[in-house]
Structure 1
Amino acid sequence: MTPAAGTALTAVADTNQHYDLDPEIFGLFLDPSRKYSAGRYQSPSDTLAQAQINKLRFVAERLGLRGGEQLLDVGCGWGSLLLFMAREHGCRAVGISPAGRQHEYIRARSKEIGVATRVTTLRGHFEETDLPGGSFDAVTMLGSIVHMPDLTAAFRRARTLLRRGGCLYVSESCFRNTAAHTTFHQRAGTRFVGDSIFGWGDLRPVSELVRGAEDAGFSLSSLDDLTDDYRRTIDDWLANIRANAADIERIKPGLAERLERYLEIANAGWGYTTKHYALTCRKTR
């Protein structure tokens, strides 16, 4: 790891406390599964909850899951993908997250829905977690590679962990091109999201993600534009925050306003400065 990457990783560890907030907060503005990434809206009448189920089915389809696979979810959040893949596809699912409260929540939920023997979580950062090479059929990163300072190392590590024929799914928000990245990376709104919400992060153009995957030795299977889906997801999150602001403030004073500002900044950028893509890759050799 380069010194710059090490410094950034320390910043992630020091400042990224957002995901370790009280899980009740996330239940007040996310869907019932607490999935904290773009849904997939297949009709005008889809609710947020339905859109998130659609998205998990979409991920399973892109990965080519047939049942019983060994899956690693990097940045597993509140476990929506782990629990879904374990229950619906019989996967043995392993999640990685640095946030302690997420592990407690996932452990409890896996017992509640009867998949505790198929779901495991590891506390830490992907770059530092000890995992055996060639042991997974699928690796997923939904909104997590943005927090990894060394993009090349992240893709190479994912490839090392996959068996031959295994798939990597990455969905991420990106600046729409290199010029937009250069212009807006240090703008006040971008800095607010980093300083007040997520800590270190870098919305790289999708061309950098593609290059990182190809340089790591992956073959690209698909690239999907989910920008409109994320815009609608955030609209639904904003509606929930506004409806439940008093309860959010009771748990964490000042948070409802910060969340609302973060999400408004995100929605203002879609299609103008930022996009959201899903990239699927295969380890063919």
Structure 2
Amino acid sequence: MTTTTTAPPGTAAPAAGVELSDTNQHYDLPAEVFGLFLDPLRKYSSGLYLSKGDTLEQAQLNKLRFVAGRLQLGGGQRVLDVGCGWGSLTLFVADELGCEVVGVSPAGNQHAYIAGRAAELGLADRVSTVRGHFETVDLGERATGGFDAVTMLGSIVHMPDLDVVFRRARALLRRGGRLYVSESCFRNAAARAAFDAREGTQFVRSAIFGWGDMRPLSDLVRAAEDAGFSIASVDDLTDDYRRTIDDWLVNVDAATDELDAIRPGTAATLRRYLEVANAGWGYTTKHYALVCRRAR
């Protein structure tokens, strides 16, 4: 297991007067916070509920298998996990499928956590991470066509220039390679215009993510196609994300004292964030899984 660090993109401006920081305050919270309300793998994105009786843990395992299937990972491929979080997908495809995986994240404490888990699982020879932003991170000799698959689970919302992101993802893939993007999106351009500046949206930006730009799905598809990708599939996972967040809220309530002992007010901030996220599903927001293929 190796970890390298690259400089962030400095003063890249996603909008007038807005700058990207090295990371955001939410992901810099202690790892213990996420262990208290996420599943045991600490997967921080939508699960996939295949039955009414699925637990949060089972739903997240279902989702990891779903991602591997959409990417047609049969074993041994090279995978780039962009916005790798606490390593749930990185470690899963390395362990279950024998893939060689590189994780990318600007959050320093995530790298230490993944390194520890990789060592515990005997995966240090298959897993490495790079600290930095996807748009500028140095991936060495694999910067051109070095990967069979690229994943972005809930990370593209933090990237200001979709054209740059999709072009780089395509350049990193071999011919026939696949890109998996799952993201929460405004239902359409009209919903974005009406709700992007609302109080709840601004709270999530200021108190949680620092900066983020949720777009309609059509913006992601356009950028993917303009970069030269072919669209392989689009899945609507909105109901699954609603249920995932409901399960997270139950865990937040059960762990309120422990969360606030780590940092006072953490439970209330998490609850408000998750309630805002769950309020607009199907009305203002949707959650999609978009799979793109480098056909040539």
The TM tier, using the shorter chain, reads over 0.9
Provide the C-alpha distance between the structure 2 equivalents of 1:233 and 1:94, rounded to a whole number of angstroms: 26
- For 1:94, the equivalent position in structure 2 comes to 102
**Structural mapping, 1:1-285, within 5 Å:** 5=13, 11-13=19-21, 16-131=24-139, 132-285=143-296
Secondary structure at the counterpart of residue 134 of structure 1: coil
Provide the C-alpha distance between the structure 2 equivalents of 1:130 and 1:8, rounded to a whole number of angstroms: 27
Post-superposition offset of 1:5? 3.5
Provide the C-alpha distance between the structure 1 equivalents of 2:104 and 2:48, rounded to a whole number of angstroms: 24
Gap runs ≥5 in structure 1: none
RMSD: 1.5
Provide the C-alpha distance between the structure 2 equivalents of 1:141 and 1:231, rounded to a whole number of angstroms: 20
Aligned residue identity for 1:77 = G
Q: Deviations over 1:181-219 (max 9, x none)?
A: 011001000000000001111110000000010000000
Secondary structure at the counterpart of residue 138 of structure 2: coil
Q: Deviations over 1:131-189 (max 9, x none)?
A: 22110000000000000000111000000000000000000000000000011001000
Post-superposition offset of 1:62? 0.2
The answer on whether the counterparts of 1:8 and 1:149 sit within 8 Å (CA) in structure 2 is no
Provide the C-alpha distance between the structure 1 equivalents of 2:40 and 2:16, rounded to a whole number of angstroms: 33
Secondary structure at the counterpart of residue 277 of structure 2: helix
Aligned residue identity for 1:276 = H
The answer on whether the counterparts of 1:15 and 1:200 sit within 8 Å (CA) in structure 2 is no
Post-superposition offset of 1:84? 0.1
Provide the C-alpha distance between the structure 1 equivalents of 2:272 and 2:34, rounded to a whole number of angstroms: 16
Going from structure 1 to structure 2, the CA distance change for 1:256 and 1:21 (only over 3 Å counts) comes to same
Provide the C-alpha distance between the structure 1 equivalents of 2:17 and 2:83, rounded to a whole number of angstroms: 14
Matched positions, count: 284
Q: Which moved more, 1:196-205 or 1:11-20?
A: 11-20
Provide the C-alpha distance between the structure 2 equivalents of 1:15 and 1:97, rounded to a whole number of angstroms: 8
Going from structure 1 to structure 2, the CA distance change for 1:115 and 1:155 (only over 3 Å counts) comes to same
Aligned residue identity for 1:159 = R
Provide the C-alpha distance between the structure 2 equivalents of 1:55 and 1:102, rounded to a whole number of angstroms: 21
Aligned residue identity for 1:120 = S
Post-superposition offset of 1:6? 5.9
Post-superposition offset of 1:11? 3.1
Secondary structure at the counterpart of residue 37 of structure 1: coil
Secondary structure at the counterpart of residue 104 of structure 2: strand
Post-superposition offset of 1:114? 1.1
The answer on whether the counterparts of 2:23 and 2:106 sit within 8 Å (CA) in structure 1 is no
Aligned residue identity for 1:206 = L
Post-superposition offset of 1:8? 7.7
Identity in percent: 68
Secondary structure at the counterpart of residue 281 of structure 1: strand
User: Would you identify which runs of 4 or more consecutive aligned residues in structure 1 move more than 2 Å?
Assistant: 3-12
Provide the C-alpha distance between the structure 2 equivalents of 1:70 and 1:126, rounded to a whole number of angstroms: 17
The answer on whether the counterparts of 1:9 and 1:149 sit within 8 Å (CA) in structure 2 is no
Aligned residue identity for 1:71 = V
Q: Deviations over 1:31-58 (max 9, x none)?
A: 0000000000000000000000000000
Going from structure 1 to structure 2, the CA distance change for 1:9 and 1:101 (only over 3 Å counts) comes to farther
Post-superposition offset of 1:12? 3.1
State the TM-score, normalizing by the size of structure 1. Answer: 0.97
The answer on whether the counterparts of 1:219 and 1:284 sit within 8 Å (CA) in structure 2 is yes
Provide the C-alpha distance between the structure 2 equivalents of 1:198 and 1:134, rounded to a whole number of angstroms: 31
The answer on whether the counterparts of 1:11 and 1:199 sit within 8 Å (CA) in structure 2 is no
